[in-house]
Structure 1
Amino acid sequence: MASTINDTILAERNVPRALRMLRQRMDELAIAEGEEELERLESEYGLMANCFLSDMCDPKAARIYDRMLKRTYRLYNNVRLASVMRKRRTLAQAQNIATSRRIRQEAVLGELESFVQDVAMCSLQSGEMRETSLAKLYVNHQRYMEGLFNSLLVMGQWTEESAEAYKSLLLSPVIDHTDAQLIVSALTMALLVVFDVNKWLTLVAVYEQSDDVALRQRAIVGIVLTMPDEGVVRLFPNVGEALLRLSSSVQVRRELMEVQMQMLYCERTEVDSREIQTDIIPTFVKNSRLKNWRMESDGCEDSSIDEILGNDEADSNMAEIEEKMNRMMEMQRKGSDIYFGGFSHMKRFAFFSEISNWFAPFYADHPDVTNALKGENGPAIKRMVGRGPFCDSDKYSFVFAVASIFDRLPADAQEMLKGGNASLPENMTAETDTPAYMRRMYLQDLYRFFKLFPNHNDFRNPFGKMAKDGVADCLFIANASLAGSMAHEAVEIGRLLFRWRQYEAVRVLAESVVRTGAESADISLLLGNAYLRTGNYDASYELFSRVVAKNEKREQAMAGLAEAAFMLRRYDDVTAICNRLETVGCISKRLTIYMSLALINSGEVSEGMNRLYRLDYENDSDRNVKRAIAWGHMMNHKPDEAERIYDVLVADGSGVADDLLNCGYAKWLLHKNGEASRMFGRYTAAVEAGNISGCLAAAFAEDKNLLDKYGVGDFEKVIMRESVYKEK
């Protein structure tokens, strides 16, 4: 496959070829931006090449070439931006807005400082004059910030001077903090279109130097969402130095780990929303007669007979509500976006047609909010918004939604709202002044944008999936520049992913740490178990063997080694390892099952079955034990007893696919060939086999030992496979 311009610059570091490719690209697309810089680079490279061919030795040649490579990369990104601006509607609109507002970058700091001063001066006025002046001031400023956001979105590559100017601006104590936050969001979104070293380093400087907690949290989110790849780090040493500096601090590493966890919880938003909609909300609806005692009247006439006389069912209902409420609290505490499902339907207001409003910190003086809160209902709605633990985007939605229906609410509901009696339970509110809370709310703003903004595909989605393996693209901790120094934090993240059964993500993360040379016993255990769950048994066996040899985390590694050995049908190894674990009292029920099956498959059926009978006595309802016993019966020439167990396992549809396969075996070995064929058909459907005959051929080959015990011939396997195929 032909190299891209990006690869030619970052991987091959080939200036002349990259310049030729850029010339071709610019000519094809008729892009004039950067023409002068391209000509300068072509001329400078030509001069360098001529000197080289003339045998002239320049001791500074390497540094000059390196600078040319960096300039070529900047030019490439400017050309790329010019190209995508023609194709992506959001960026074309941003360019039009930026042009029409005539934003002068050198005047931005003065404009923002003047706004703060003007607000202070207006506040000295009195009465209606003050309100009118402030309203006009905020309208004009909102229009300016909208233009600034859009101009930053489509601004080309920054020089170091531009970066220094914006760093000073963002760290200035005399500009409004909401303006600074919106600018940081604009830089983040711009980086999600085309990477810019100086914009990214500006975010790093804001995070490291700002005293504004909310601003720092927006900056660190921007840093990780737009993390540069290895090629950029190699080309720009100051980027690598910044990453090293960040990951050298224990406190920063902790915060980076928290950001990673919160982003992963964002990834689970839809899963959590389904749980809330299908499990938690129905419980509240079902028990809606159990009122919020803070909203009841003092009298007892509205109380139910259950509440007056006592009723076990009522107590049970209340306990169920408390359980679901606690579940929502726990989800919220860990970082789940519990309000997405409700607020996702409230993003059709005209307010959200302007991209900058998706990232605007909520403030009551926003002109659109001021208009929505005119009249006597405004204060009540404002109080409700202040009490709700919602992200800024949802606060705006809430204002517009409630304002639009307030007058149509029942009179008693309006009175309750106006009186300030409506609020979420106290234990559902959050510590709004903590960095973790601010960061989570901002991530939820971003998640809503990338899920609900009509043209969100105009930007790289940091919450998407990498096409090559389906792993979350937000797994920034796997970045090569972070993985080595954050190996300890990677273990914590890996354990979370493992609990969610995201084994491919665990593999990607653990392998990234191993590649840096920071492998530890904990990382090896994570990686070995990820290999197990993804079917890479050879790699798992080899990895666990190395850990056991080092005598680190010995029992856990031996347990993994036993499981890998079982999957590889190395039954003697399984028995030996499990015997050692049993001697030290560290054998689990799962390994006991594996050991028993290993004994059975090795011909020691009696000993293996005795172990399983003992387990079954101690765990009567364990389906895995039942499965093992059924397999033992087949290996012990008792297919009729195996059939009885398998029939129960597959009867309710809750079994695993292998139950259907093994049930088919039991019936086949009892010469119930028609029933066996139908059971194999259910098995191929369960595993979604495209090639039915090939799927069964592979299964029969794996279980050759069993079929040989009963003298099943090759021709019978062919007939059975074809009969299943024919039925389908």
Structure 2
Amino acid sequence: MTLQELTNRYKNLVRRIDNGQMKEAFDLLTHFITVTGQHTFTSRVEELQNTYRYMLHYYVEGSNDPTRHRIRADIRRRAYELADAVRHATFGDISPATYYSVRRSVRYAGIGITSILRQVALYTEAGDREHGESAANRLFDALWTTEFIDADTASALREALSSHSFPTDVKTLLVSALLLGLQASFDREKMRLLFDAAALSDADTVNVSLQALVAICLTLYTYSDRLELYPEVQERLEMLAETPDFRRRLSSVIVRFILTRETEKVAHRLKDEILPEIMKLTTQGGKGPTTDFLKEIAGEEMNPEWMERMVGSSDKLSAWMREYGELQEEGIDMLHTTFGPLKRFPFFHETGNWFLPFTPRHTALRDHNGDSFADGILSLAAFMCDSDKYSFCFSILHLPDAQRRALGEQLRGDFSQLREQEAAELGDRGKHEERLIGLYIRNLYRFYKLHPGRADFDDIFERGLDFHRLPILRPYLSDAETLLRIAEVYLRKGYPDDARPIYEELLQRGEGDSEMLHQKLGYCLQSIGDVDGALREYLRAELINPDSKWLLRRIAACYRAIKQPTRALEFLLRHERLEPDNLSVLLHIGHCYLEQKMYDEALKYYFKVDYLDPTNAKGGRGVAWCSFVLGKYDQARASYRKLIAEQPQPEDYLNAGHTEWASGHVKEAYAYYLQAAAGKDFDFFANLFDADRSALIRAGIDPEEIALMRDEMQYVLPEEVM
């Protein structure tokens, strides 16, 4: 049986336990043990199943056992743990996955977690960084791959976490090892340790407690179906919630995970929009080859002349650069694409190093001349996670000595302003802690997206991570202020379907600004295509604020979308009374009259748009078409000539042809039709032409002539453009 088949059997078994189908679960577990040859677990399954059968027997006999719920929960919990134990025992010697490869190395070394903890403490006391770093990595691997730690080991780890002498950077490694270990299988002792770490309150352990909270949230999400079996988790969470700033920190964790969704979107925009724009600009005007320019952008100082030309020459690029700064300030990960290729250094062969807090004193950063260029990297803390700082340093180590020393001096000088900004941020504890949370999540993101063995891990960032919907976390996230903050992030970042239920809940509870909630719920519904639902919410908001121009336009747009131009017109005319010269509103009023075939009224509004803004092509097209339909061919002809002279569309040539044809100029009409179809196939032309058939007939053109013109165009145009 293949590893994939065994994995599928395990997942099927877990689903049965999730659903409480214990008879099927025991059958599958027994079969799983048989096919894997792990017969040492047989007696434990039999004992567990016998206990379950006794419980069922007492139940059907009518016994009112008050402990039945607790006993059944204990059976389910033990079944989960037994299934995990069988899986680990089966895969331990045969799986090539990263987890099991490291697990085999740890077991071969034969050194327990408690012994490694003592080694770390001794090396720290002796100031032996090299051996201390090696021991820290061994500790990470051992804790990560030990599926169930015993009480004595847990006690030693708890003592290390609370000790002032135990190095803080190793404490953070312990948290990450606990997180990865819990993602491999649930262990109560590991979960207890995470709560211990999250409860740390010393100034030098802020990062440890914040990272532990992130790890707790991820673990709760992963095992949401099992949490009822571990009442102590609920109890520990309630205790943690009593600590200062817990709710604020929890809210920050959720917001920062939402923002990770933007990482790939930003990366794609950078690759598909921004870099091509830069390449285009740098190959114009003989200013130098693109490759040299990109080298400057990625490495040394950027040429100020090029930057000035970039910003001055491209509105799109200028707008992107402003947006870049805003996204960076908001906490969006802008560096994932940049540092992706820099995770191949040997340093990252050790899994623990993906989570190691940055220090310029790490032995891997010692260069041949003993200078401390890495000190300057500490100033990048405001926007670069630890993993990226190491990547940056290793890339610098590959520079020639002279360039590296020069760059080190530049770093120490150029980043002084960033140091000042970070010092100022420390005065805002909430902002500072939210940034620290975001940086740790970036470390996690790098690990799950860039680790060489990433295919061996269940990518947590592929999940929804909607923590606010977890029942166990709801009591701490249910206040209106927190929910609104989460909803605003969803809405602002383009996830209306995630924001929608929050607005619905707040409206149902009667909390918050009801008009604004109806508006935003309507916007969410409209964004996901539920126009009727959006209209319902907009109308409810309009009852509260009938003079909202935004609402009037949205309501009108919905009525137009459901083909009710008369109703749309009612709200647009109200908007016009509030803002008589709004071009967009005037255009839509014209469109509504046009849809009702009230061409004279439509023409008045299109003329007004054209008068207020002669460059507005939409207004010009409205004037031209209404003039054509009303038989004002000279007026239509003048309008179409103006449109064609500026930025013509195929429809402009087509309608200009209609105008000439209705005026009796068949040859001129034919010439315009050919221009309308230039570079297109016949189907493209026919779709446009056939849609105007009724308008041509109203203009007095014989249906037979329409058929003749259509056939002629089919002769001269290709059937299909490949």
TM-score interval, normalised by the smaller of the two chains: 0.7 to 0.9
CA separation in 2, counterparts of 1:668 and 1:75?
79
Counterpart of 1:655 in structure 2 is none
Identical aligned residues as a percent: 19
Counterpart of 1:380 in structure 2 is 372
CA gap 1:90/1:493 in 2 versus in 1, 3 angstroms: same
Contact 1:346–1:401 under 8 Å retained in 2: yes
2:361 is the alignment partner of 1:335: no
Contact 1:31–1:82 under 8 Å retained in 2: yes
Q: Residue type of the partner of 1:386?
A: L
Unaligned runs of 5+ in 1: 123-133, 293-303, 307-311, 467-472, 652-658, 685-691
1:259-304 superposed Cα distances (whole Å, 9 cap, x missing partner): 2454345444514654775567999997999xx9xxxxxxxxxxx9
Counterpart of 1:404 in structure 2 is 398
Shift of 1:601: 0.7
Counterpart of 2:97 in structure 1 is 89
1:109-120 alignment, distance < 5 Å: 111-112=116-117, 115-116=120-121, 118-120=123-125
Counterpart of 1:298 in structure 2 is none
Deviating more after overlay: 169-178 vs 718-727: 718-727
Q: How many residues align?
A: 653
Counterpart of 2:478 in structure 1 is 485
Shift of 1:210: 3.7
Pick from 443, 453, 467: which aligns with 1:445? Answer: 443
Shift of 1:347: 2.0
CA separation in 1, counterparts of 2:580 and 2:148?
59
Q: Residue type of the partner of 2:532?
A: D
Contact 2:311–2:317 under 8 Å retained in 1: no
Counterpart of 1:46 in structure 2 is 53
CA separation in 1, counterparts of 2:454 and 2:76?
32
Contact 1:477–1:486 under 8 Å retained in 2: no
1:51-78 superposed Cα distances (whole Å, 9 cap, x missing partner): 2333433232222222222333333444
CA separation in 2, counterparts of 1:677 and 1:224?
59
Counterpart of 2:221 in structure 1 is 228
Indicate the SS of the match to 2:248: helix
2:414 is the alignment partner of 1:424: yes
Shift of 1:660: 6.1
Shift of 1:574: 0.9
CA separation in 1, counterparts of 2:40 and 2:656?
73
CA gap 1:364/1:314 in 2 versus in 1, 3 angstroms: closer
Contact 1:450–1:461 under 8 Å retained in 2: yes
CA gap 1:425/1:368 in 2 versus in 1, 3 angstroms: closer
CA separation in 1, counterparts of 2:531 and 2:140?
51
Contact 1:200–1:223 under 8 Å retained in 2: yes
CA separation in 1, counterparts of 2:250 and 2:595?
49
Shift of 1:182: 0.7
Pick from 2, 10, 20: which aligns with 1:13? Answer: 20
CA gap 1:668/1:585 in 2 versus in 1, 3 angstroms: closer
CA separation in 2, counterparts of 1:347 and 1:636?
68
Deviating more after overlay: 178-187 vs 478-487: 478-487
Q: Residue type of the partner of 2:385?
A: C
Q: Report which structure shows greater RCO (CA 8 Å, sep ≥6).
A: 1
1:364-414 superposed Cα distances (whole Å, 9 cap, x missing partner): 443433xx33x43x323233333444322233223333233333x46xx74
CA separation in 1, counterparts of 2:654 and 2:210?
58
CA gap 1:13/1:626 in 2 versus in 1, 3 angstroms: farther
Shift of 1:178: 0.6
Q: Residue type of the partner of 1:174?
A: S
Q: Residue type of the partner of 2:140?
A: F
Indicate the SS of the match to 2:221: coil
Q: Residue type of the partner of 1:382?
A: A
CA separation in 1, counterparts of 2:616 and 2:468?
38
Counterpart of 2:568 in structure 1 is 574
Shift of 1:45: 1.0
Shift of 1:326: 7.2
CA separation in 2, counterparts of 1:564 and 1:322?
34
CA separation in 2, counterparts of 1:313 and 1:499?
32
Counterpart of 1:251 in structure 2 is 248
Counterpart of 1:141 in structure 2 is 132
Contact 1:477–1:509 under 8 Å retained in 2: no
Length-normalised TM-score, structure 1: 0.72
Alpha-carbon RMSD:
5.2
Shift of 1:180: 0.8
1:199-278 alignment, distance < 5 Å: 199-200=190-191, 202-211=193-202, 212-228=205-221, 231-233=225-227, 236=230, 250-252=247-249, 254-256=251-253, 258-260=255-257, 262-271=259-268, 273-274=270-271, 277=275
1:449-507 superposed Cα distances (whole Å, 9 cap, x missing partner): 2332222122222334x6xxxxxx4554565666761654454455455555x3xx221
Counterpart of 1:102 in structure 2 is 110
Contact 1:506–1:526 under 8 Å retained in 2: no
Q: Residue type of the partner of 1:96?
A: R
1:302-330 superposed Cα distances (whole Å, 9 cap, x missing partner): xx9x9xxxxx999989xx99999877654
Pick from 167, 170, 177: which aligns with 2:161? Answer: 170
Q: Residue type of the partner of 1:453?
A: H
Contact 1:269–1:338 under 8 Å retained in 2: yes
2:337 is the alignment partner of 1:346: no
Counterpart of 1:543 in structure 2 is 537
Shift of 1:348: 1.9
CA gap 1:239/1:422 in 2 versus in 1, 3 angstroms: closer
Contact 2:386–2:443 under 8 Å retained in 1: yes
Contact 1:525–1:556 under 8 Å retained in 2: no
CA separation in 1, counterparts of 2:232 and 2:696?
64
Counterpart of 1:510 in structure 2 is 500
CA gap 1:329/1:563 in 2 versus in 1, 3 angstroms: closer
Q: Residue type of the partner of 1:91?
A: Y
Shift of 1:177: 0.5
CA separation in 2, counterparts of 1:546 and 1:532?
15
Indicate the SS of the match to 2:225: helix
Unaligned runs of 5+ in 2: 1-8, 297-303, 427-431, 662-668
CA gap 1:459/1:321 in 2 versus in 1, 3 angstroms: closer
CA separation in 2, counterparts of 1:169 and 1:537?
58
Indicate the SS of the match to 1:344: helix
Counterpart of 2:31 in structure 1 is 24
Shift of 1:580: 3.5
Shift of 1:642: 7.8
2:345 is the alignment partner of 1:355: no
